[in-house]
Structure 1
Amino acid sequence: MGATGVSAKDERVEPAEVVTDQEETAAAPAPRRWSSLRVARRPRLWFELLLIAISYGTYSLIRNAAPDQVAEAQSNARWIWDVQDSLGLAFERGINHAAESVTWLIVAMNYYYATLHFIVTIVVLVWLFRSHPGRYGATRLVLFATTGVALLGYYFYPLAPPRLMEGMDFIDTATVHHTWGSLSAEGTAMASVSNQYAAMPSMHIGWSLWCGITILVLARPLWLKILGALYPVVTLLVIVATANHFWLDAVGGMICLAFGYAVARLWYGAFCYRMPRRIPPTVPDTGNAGKARNAGAQPS
């Protein structure tokens, strides 16, 4: 032992403590990286286009791969019709026949059913991307979670739409008027690749209500807010008049949308429309390296 009172054994302990500190420091950033996924970021166009393409492709694949259980789908349709009838709200057939008697109206509804479901949703997504980038990710997650949970209904609850119900006199308006308002109308090419018994829940309602709420909350012009409020209402009328859905399918779509909003709220910790509208171009580096750079940049 020397004059300093430090033994050789004590000197060998010190390097081990340094290595342990380095290992703990290296492991620390992992939770930060995970947490960063729950923070609003500036959306990237190429990533969003790729994500939408992959998600819609997967959605279509799973939806159309659901078991084609015709007997069960017919039984479920009859059960829903009986439930609505017991409530005194089995009004789909009356609306279907009334709309069919006005040719220009029902043809317009057929094309509305086939096109606006996609067009309006894409337009709202683009608007969010450009004008509300800080809210885009969370609001897009609402739509994706809504669509994802809807697949459970398609897979586990096959349901014949009114136009395909046996023993009923619903009119398949797309077939009668030779329009493509119903993408899976019997006798068409789409019928062989599309699941005709995936009617519950209605994503026409889920998506249109998402669009309507988003426009109503975030848009500034009053006329645009009014259009946003009317869009899901008109969509409900269209899906019933064309005999593509029961009104209870619309309720299913609303439940799925509520689930989507809950997922986004839990993930981001805030309601999607209350998040900051814009994200700064650069995100400050909060790591040790960033602190060191900031300290070095301070004036002497």
Structure 2
Amino acid sequence: MGEPTVTPLEGRDQALPEPVTATPRQRRLHRLRSPRRPRLWFEILLIAVSYWTYSLVRNAVPEQRAEALRNMDWIWRLEHSLGIAVEESVNHGVNSVTWLIVGMNYYYATLHFVVTLAVLVWLYRSHPGRYAATRLVLFATTAVALVGYYLYPLAPPRLMPGGDFVDTVMVHQTWGSMASGDLKHMSNQYAAMPSMHIGWSLWCGLTVFALAKLPWVRILGLLYPTATLVVIVATANHFWLDAVGGVLCLAFGFAVARVWYGTLPYALPRTAPPRGQGRPLLPTKA
């Protein structure tokens, strides 16, 4: 009774010294794996260079039209056999409402980048200890997607020969896809599998849901990838199974972060220790 109690600050590690039994190699690896406060200039440069590299590599993948169309035919037949080939109905249904499909065209063209950057900025400012690990998930997801573009070229539904899909950007003259209209020569049209619109939006949604405090913001986090799924199908830019590919890539990204940091990014401390310090190492066995 009367003794003061000490409560650790939320989201902070206990300040324990590193054990002297750790080897130099363990110490170096520990520093690399420890959450650190991100540097703004480095993050801006890293994101800019990474996106430039992603675009360069994605568009450098050979546009294998014949193989992309064969893969599209296989995907379409598989979806029919699974009873989920309703993309055409969704495409026509939404296209009949002009204001809705035009809005979806602009959604497809802009929010993919805007929301992802907004979540990165929020993480940087509010969750610096989790920023690097969560960013690693996004980067690993995108990297494995590039492998998918190379190994499995796939044409989007709007390019189906003899199909009845509506290219909503062409029809409504909106800037809704880098692979439609006058901009189609600037982007690889046969890089539909996996869908990074789903990979990135689900990364945003899970991050917001896991870390946001306000219930309505967390709900919005879950609604964002759901709305994105409807948009990519309604605009005839992706099949349902492209979205599955995006989910699998994101799972790979989380696995990479889990292996590197030893835990999921959201379980790391919210704040990061000063640079040069890290989480305490476990003592080595004698």
* Superposed pair shares fold, TM > 0.5: yes
Query: Residues 230-258 of structure 1, C-alpha deviation per residue, up to 9 Å, x if partnerless?
Result: 00000000000000000000000000000
Does residue 1:255 correspond to 2:256, yes or no? no
Residue 38 (1) aligns with residue 25 (2): no
Q: 2:47: which partner in 1?
A: 52
1:108-147 pair list within 5 angstroms: 108-147=103-142
1:30: Cα distance to partner?
A: 4.8
Deviations 1:243-274 (A, max 9, x none): 00000000000000000000000001111000
The structure with the greater share of residues assigned to helix is: 1
Structure 2: distance between partners of 1:117 and 1:285: 34
Partners of 1:53 and 1:154 in 2: how far apart? 21
Does 1:281 pair with 2:274? yes
Equivalent of residue 86 in structure 1, options 81, 86, 92: 81
- Change in Cα spacing, 1:218 to 1:285, as seen in structure 2 (3 Å) is closer
Sequence identity of aligned pairs in percent? 68
**Match for 2:223 among 230, 234, 244?**
230
Query: Following TM superposition, by how much is the alpha carbon of 1:94 offset from its aligned partner in structure 2, in angstroms?
Result: 0.1
Aligned length: 257
User: Which residue of 233, 248, 254 corresponds with 1:240?
Assistant: 233
AA at the equivalent of 1:96: N
- Mapping for residues 60-71 of structure 1, pairs under 5 Å: 60-71=55-66
User: Could you tell me the TM-score, scaled by structure 1's length?
Assistant: 0.83
Question: How far apart, CA to CA, are the structure 2 residues paired with 1:209 and 1:218?
Answer: 14
Cα distance between partner residues in 2 of 1:280 and 1:268: 15
List 4+ stretches of structure 1 deviating above 6 A. none
- The structure with higher relative contact order (CA 8 Å, sep 6+) is 2
Q: 1:167 to 1:275 in 2, by over 3 A?
A: same
How far apart are the structure 2 equivalents of 1:284 and 1:200?
Answer: 41
Q: Confirm whether residue 160 of structure 1 aligns to residue 155 of structure 2.
A: yes
For residues 46 and 53 of structure 1, the distance between their equivalents in structure 2, rounded to whole angstroms, comes to 11
Structure 1 residue 169, shift from structure 2 partner: 1.0
**Structure 2 residue identity aligned to 1:109:** M
| Structure 2 unaligned residues grouped into runs of 5+ | 1-22, 280-286
Cross-structure match for 2:174: 179
RMSD of the TM alignment (CA)?
Answer: 1.4
Matched with 2:195 is 202
Alpha-carbon distance change, 276 to 192 in structure 1, aligned in 2, over 3 angstroms: same
- Alignment check: 8 A CA contact 2:112 2:200 kept: yes
Note the C-alpha offset of 1:99.
0.6
Deviations 1:258-297 (A, max 9, x none): 00000000001111000000013354599xxxxxxxxxxx
Secondary structure at 2:33 match in 1: coil
Deviations 1:80-109 (A, max 9, x none): 000000111100000000011000000000
* TM-score normalised over the length of structure 2: 0.87
How far is 1:33 from its partner?
2.3
Alignment partner of 1:76 out of 48, 71, 74? 71
1:238 maps to amino acid: V
> Structure 1: which 5+ residue stretches go unaligned?
1-27, 287-300
Q: Rg: which structure is higher?
A: 1
